[in-house]
Amino acid sequence: NAGVMQNPRHLVRRRGQEARLRCSPMKGHSHVYWYRQLPEEGLKFMVYLQKENIIDESGMPKERFSAEFPKEGPSILRIQQVVRGDSAAYFCASSSGDRAYGYTFGSGTRLTVV
């Protein structure tokens, strides 16, 4: 009964490096969402993807951030040239697309930029 799988759980990067965060949705779910949570703050929507398509990226920073959800394999959130302000918990969620059922979240990736 695998839920939403995120890896790595913890990621440390030096300023200027790239961070790649992975998310495998629940079995049967084809909709993936990425959220960011800064310390002591709420969840902020970043991007919504369906297989091979970006549906809504209104929460993505204009630069350095990108996301994909290929036909095969997990969804990837990529942050290039990380800065200290990127340090946060990044949560991935998936759904079947039915509005009635909400999302299921993964355990998150905690990114620390040093």
Given the rule CB under 8 A, which residues bind another protein? 31, 33, 35, 41-43, 45, 48, 55-56, 89, 91, 95, 97, 99-108
For residue 31, the minimal CB distance to another protein (Å) is 6
Distance of CA 8 to the CA centre of its chain: 11
Closer by beta carbon to another protein, 17 or else 30:
30
- The answer to whether the beta carbons of residues 37 and 43 sit under 8 Å apart is yes
- The length of the chain is 114
Closer by beta carbon to another protein, 76 or else 89:
89
C-beta atoms surrounding 99 within 10 Å: 7
Closer by beta carbon to another protein, 35 or else 65:
35
